Structure 1
Amino acid sequence: MNREIKAAIDNGDVDRVRAILTDDPAKASALITWGPAHCPCETEPLHYLSDAPFNRLWDHGKQAELARVLIEAGAPVDGLPTSGETPLHGAASLGEAGVAEVLIDCGANTEAVADYPGIPDGTPLDFAVHFGMVDVVDLLVRRGAKVLSTRMAAGAGQIERVQTEWASLHDPDKQFDVFRCAVVCDRVPVVEFLLAEGVDVNADLDGATALHWAAWEAKPRMVEFLLGRGADASKQDPEHNATALQWARHRGDQLGPRWGHPEVIEMLTNAG
């Protein structure tokens, strides 16, 4: 269960982690068990560096430094073959830009693929775009990650490419996906272009609108923009019968104030 490494990581004790790994380098890749007793998770230490702060287990800010120590001790930078996704996918999904940069510096494969609902064969950039982790999106693009689709271009803010490729997208679900990626990645110019091309600001996929997703991912600038362009804050998704405000409250309760949900909640409350 690698309890010793977990405790040192949880405490942000870089020197203790280094000492443990000097004595037993195998612990750099031994699985850590965490989470509630009724539903425990097992993950590699490199992946845990992104999982734990996102899930509010700690927030000491030593993730990047700890990542480098683990890799220097032999932790596989692209994870164990049985992991399903690489540590870079985890950092991309959960917004750990510092960890992502260390992984890339140490040779992580930016084109590795993993599966997630809605992101089959997704690269780390695909994952970062999907979850609106803009700092990681920008880092990956800057470090040479391939922008393989229109949805990724929208998330990366590459408006000229979106303008070039938009006319060839005829599937409404794919069109909405491009719109959603631009929204959650806070790319106002791309969203402006798509609205000018006829995308309905209140369009939805399975009942969830762009405003729902901007609220969920805590994008106050985008929430303000969408409201200004006529987004209907009263619209409910059919699965949960919840408005964008209720989505923001639920996600804010899960993640705490770190991601900016309180500002979004205030905006949507004032919008009625």
Structure 2
Amino acid sequence: MASVIALVNGNLAKQYSMLYEGNITIARMVQPDELKRETYQHWSQGRGTDVWNMTCASVAGDLPTIQQLLAHDPRLVHCSFEYFKPLHFAVRENQQAAVSYLLAQGADPFNTGGDVLAMARERGYHELASLFESIYRDRYHIAPEGDTIAAAIKAFDTTRVYALLKEQPALLHAADQQGNQPIHWAVLTRQLDLVDYLLTQGADVNAMRPDGARPLDLTRGDYNYRSWYRDLPATGLRTHEVLIGYLIARGADYDISVAAKVGHYERVRALLDRDPGLANRPPAHVGYYSGLPLRCAAAAGHIETVKLLLERGANPNEPEPEIAPWGGALHAAIGGRHFDIVKLLLENGADANAEVESSGNCLSMAKHVNAPQEIIDLIASYARKTRPSDGAAKHDDIEALAAQLQANPQLPVDHLINGFIGKEKRQHIELILRYQPDALHRQLWDPTAWWDTSTLRSAEYTQWLFERGLNPHRRNWLGITLLHRCAAKGDIDIAAICIGYGCDLNAQETGRSATPLGWAAREGKTAMVTWLLQQGADPNLPANEPWARPLAWATRKGHQDIITLLQQHNAHQ
């Protein structure tokens, strides 16, 4: 396999995926605009073209290219687009040599954009499945029994937990499929008595999950279990700092990030005296509720600790990859409504335009928490200084948008279309089309960006968009069409509009190698399966990947009525 990359005068010369023109999977993929750029893409953790080349090389199993790219920039082993990383693609295509190499270079099997073990199993990649099973078992203690005791802890059924541990003492260290041992779940659910019991039985107070999180990092919850506002029962322990103190007393490693989180000024100072580099060194676990000490202190409102950290060289804009590429301290202070800290961080150079994963930028967060107008104005003034306007439309005020378009008919507006479509702002869309008639056809909005079709709201609205130029053949970068989404959701009315405007009934995407019929079969949408078959959908596609055919999906998921229906239409695996 020829490499995508050639070394020319010491520089990497891009040749793109055209060298993989024989690879059907890559041919079905669409290079995102961000990944056509030579500039560094902060969310993707690499130059755009390098991330795309890394993706294509992983799909194709082109080990020489992967090695050259990583030699040039080792960080690319963690690069991604829309959360999908090189390891995900290498596993997806059964590229065993590439998988082994990426793992050896530090790729995280738990952070790839999907469950690589499940993917290997469902595709029949037995060697890869065995590899990940051994990694999960030997490195992280993951076992089927771990899910059993985790379920009992999450149900607050301590009687069941005690009985399970009495029957099988080894369950004390058994992790569920996400890598949570019982001690992690006891902390996540804030069951102090159970934490005490588990530690007394020999649980490791510093047990580390695959993502680096220890029990001490989980007292406010994590991404999947939000102890502080959503998942914890109303009768649960409300003050998570109680757990922090208890775990420290029981021997938990008390690092600078936790000390900053609880405002332990003297502890932070002592640790910085011992190692000044701690001010800008991320801990083993970086997540929404754990990270750099400055973000932890700012989020909790500990202004004296914030001042100390700044004095000792903490950078307000220090990147936390995948969470806060431009720094998260200012955003955290705004979210906590700690406006004295907001002012302090801005005065110390914090980027007022910084964006945080799933939480918008600093100005949008200020509006979300109903910050005083003077704070909003202050943040806005710094935002203009640190990153001047690029001339694009910045808001959905229709009068302001009209004035901008009148002054500049070619105003960049593609970035607004997604929001306008999702909010059904028909007047805004019509206004743009007056000046830029092809805006809907060419626009960057991806009608297949979400796992359902809720952004299109109705069949009538979908038809309205198609009539005004929405491209019926548009696929997202992984080859997924709007019809795939309709099939998975069971939206027959919208699917009928799509078919009427020429959407490909048998389009095959790259993620599951499936057609819309395959998606409907996988999700158990019997009415949709019936309708697609009536429209002429082929039940035996893809031809060369029997594991991805509709009957195979229905069989794996146990949808017996769909199995029968497909068999009546001569489907086979």
Q: Relative contact order (C-alpha < 8 Å, sep 6+): which is higher?
A: 1
Output the TM-score relative to the length of structure 2.
0.28
Larger Rg: 2
